[in-house]
Amino acid sequence: MEYNVAKYPEGYEKIKKEELPFLPDDEDTREFFMNDLLQWLIQW
Amino acid sequence: MNTEELRKERIQLFKDAIQMGKKPQRIPYFGNIWSWKIIDAGYKLSEALYDYEVTEKVLRHVFENYKIDVLSETGWRNPVQVTSVMGNDEYIINDTANSISIKDQCFMEADEYDELIDNPKKFLWEKVVPRKYRLLREEENNSGHFREFLQKYGEFGGFMGKVSKVMNEEYGIPDFADSLAAFDYWGNGYELLFNILRGIKGLSIDMRRDPEKVSAAIEALDETFMAPRLERGKKQPKGTNMDFCVDMNPVMLGHTILSPKQFERFYWPHLKRVSDFAESYDKVVYIFAEGESSRFYEFFQEFPKGHFAIHTEQDDIFELKKRVPNIAVAGGMKSSLLGKGTPQECVDYAKKLIDELGADGGYIFSENKMISFEQDCKAENLKAVSDFVSEYNPY
């Protein structure tokens, strides 16, 4: 099912919870990854 | 000496130079070599930037031809294979001129400060990210594009891991900075406003018209990106991480438009947090200061001794050493000389730098500017200089 990623918090949370299978199922780790990813996206 | 022993020795050189407790065995060489290496290895920029195998060949070319101790850019800059997937067309690669540039960026309007301050993540995720990435902006159901981006982002991370392994295990070249510690590369609120969100012109006007909001925005961005990294850094063992040359590697660019008074208000609070953290947790910081910084030396004098190196791009490095004795200095090897001089002239100047700046050990040899364009350096000059620095012992 396609959805709009660029919505906060809906799209952000869906990415964090459903699109990162390579990360452990741990809220802190996933939130840290998303924070880094957000910075990377605006930086580069 | 095997490559692991060489890697550890090189890390120790940087620690000794910055901590200034004992003199290093010799002066370490920070290879400030950027896109020039692609041309030197015989490739066009577009060939390397869109092909990780070519990038790896370029890196191997550097390690096999020049005796540097670390390399500043190892393939992470200009990640066009990742950003282009979602329609970011900001990078302009010119293979004829051997140049890559980025269009002026200003992804936030002057009247959006309140939105940024109120909820930085919401504002950046909903407004700024789609403004940068066309396919997120133009298409309502865009998760497929984001999945493709995550795939490319993962490939990029995998390549960077491979580069690290090749450097460490085959050449004894260490990774420079610890990416897991409080690594505030661009995670500096002021720099984000300057480089990405408001641009030079917009931010210059904002600082005069509404300094309170600019300060609040910097604080909000620092809390979003810097604070979590500092917290993570605090959970690591106290003391510098011996797997890396330095613990943090901030880059300063936006300070170039500030007066000392503005610096004190908009920039220094961020650096003070870095400084306090470095002192309390015994970390080692290498600041790359682009442009000129001499009007801020009074602030740099407050850095605790034995924790900071400053790589100056355009300042008189001899004056920096004299006026800010509490830090190690880095840089000094003029790209103008590397590009136009003879090997002997370059070696003579390298010796002068090491003899005068390295007398107390607090010096890291490097090119002053990022070696990017063909005319920035001749291969025979870099070879002569790196041979000399790797063998010369000033003590």
B279-324 pLDDT, tens digit each = 999 999 999 999 999 999 999 999 999 999 999 999 999 999 999 9
B99: CB partners within 8 A, 6+ apart = B35, B45, B93, B372, B373
Is A38–B129 a contact, with Cβ atoms under 8 angstroms apart? yes
Q: Are B219 and B189 in contact (CB under 8 A)?
A: yes
pTM, to two decimals: 0.96
Residue B116 in any domain: the answer is: no
d(C-alpha B185, C-alpha B190), whole Å: 12
Question: Which of A22, A23, A42, A43 would best serve as a mutation to test chain B binding (most B beta carbons within 10 A)?
Answer: A42
Contacts of B282 (CB under 8 A, 6+ apart): B238, B239, B240, B307
Tell how far CA B246 is from the center of its chain: 12
A20: which chain B residues are within 8 Å (Cβ-Cβ)? 150
* B354 token code pair: 């090491």
Q: What is the mean pLDDT of residues B228-246?
A: 92
C-beta atoms surrounding B199 within 10 Å = 16
Minimum CA–CA partner of B90 in chain A: A44
Q: Do B95 and B46 form a contact (C-beta atoms < 8 A)?
A: yes
Respond yes or no on whether ipTM tops 0.95.
Answer: yes
Alpha carbons B264 and B240: distance in angstroms, whole number: 28
Which of B79, B143, B224 is closest, CB to CB, to A5?
B143
B182 pLDDT more than 80: no
Q: What is the pLDDT of residues B337-348, one digit of tens each?
A: 999 999 999 999
CB contact under 8 A, B136 and A6: yes
Do the chains contact at A39 and B186, CB–CB below 8 Å? yes
Q: Measured between beta carbons, which residues in chain A are less than 8 angstroms from residue B88?
A: 44
DSSP one-letter string for B382-395: HHHHHHHHHH----
Q: Is B105 domain-assigned?
A: no
- Domain-embedded: residue B98: no
- Is the pLDDT reported for residue B105 higher than 90? no
Residue B381 in tokens: 């000059």
Instruction: Flag whether residue A43 sits within 8 Å of chain B, measured between CB atoms.
Output: yes
CA distance A10 to chain B (A): 10
Strand partners, B378: none
Given an 8 Å threshold on Cβ–Cβ distance, is A22 in contact with B154?
yes
**Confidence check: pLDDT of B184 > 60:** no
Nearest residue, CB atoms, A2 vs list B121, B122, B141: B141
pLDDT at B59 (0 to 100): 98
Peptide bond into B174 cis (omega under 30): no
Q: How far is B380 from B84, CA to CA, in rounded Å?
A: 36
> What is the predicted pLDDT for the residue at B186?
61
For residues B70 and B74, what is the distance between their CA atoms, to the nearest angstrom?
10
The answer to the question of residue B48 being in a domain is yes
Residue with the two structure tokens 């620690």: B15
B289 within some domain: yes
- Res. B183: pLDDT tops 60: no
Task: Choose, out of B108, B132, B143, the residue to mutate when testing the contact with A (most A CBs < 10 Å).
Answer: B143
The residue whose two tokens read 């880094």 is A36
Q: Name the residue facing A12 among B125, B147, B197 (closest C-beta).
A: B125
Residue B125 lies in a domain: no
- Reported as a single tens digit per residue, the pLDDT across B34-72 is 999 999 999 999 999 999 999 999 999 999 999 999 999
B146/A15 CB distance under 8 A:
yes
Q: How far B259 CA lies from chain A's nearest CA (Å)?
A: 25
Is B121 within 8 Å of A15 when comparing Cβ atoms? no
How far apart, in Å, do the first and last CA atoms of chain A sit? 28
- Helix B143-166 and helix B52-65, axial crossing angle in degrees, nearest 10: 20
Q: Are strands B363-367 and B29-31 parallel, antiparallel or unpaired?
A: parallel
Write the CATH number for B9.
3.20.20.210
- Name the minimum distance, in Å, from the CA of A25 to any CA of chain B: 18
CB pair distance less than 8 Å for B132 and A41: yes
Task: State whether residue A15 sits within 8 Å of chain B by CB.
Answer: yes
Mean pLDDT of B22-40: 96
Contact B36, B68 (CB under 8 A): no
Check A8 against B129: CB less than 8 A apart.
no
**For A22, which residue in chain B has the nearest alpha carbon?**
B154
**Closest by CA position to B36, among listed B70, B72, B10, B81:** B72
**Residue B170 three-state SS:** helix
Q: In which residue are the tokens 């050493």 written? A: B321
| Min distance B196 CA to chain A CA atoms (Å) | 7
Burial class (CB in 10 A: 0-12, 13-18, 19+), B97: exposed
CA distance A28 to chain B (A): 11
How many domains would you assign to chain B? 1
Closest CA to B374 of B52, B100, B65, B90: B100
What is the CA B122 to chain-centroid distance, rounded?
28
Range of the domain at B287: 3-78+171-391
Looking at the complex, report in whole angstroms how far the Cα of residue A26 sits from the nearest Cα belonging to chain B: 16
The span from the first CA to the last CA of chain B, in angstroms, equals 22
Q: Which residues of A touch B122 (CB under 8 A)?
A: 8-9
- Tokens for B222, please give them: 């620092």
The percent helix, strand, coil of chain B (3-state, each to 5) is 55, 10, 35
Domain-embedded: residue B147: no
Within-domain flag for B165: no
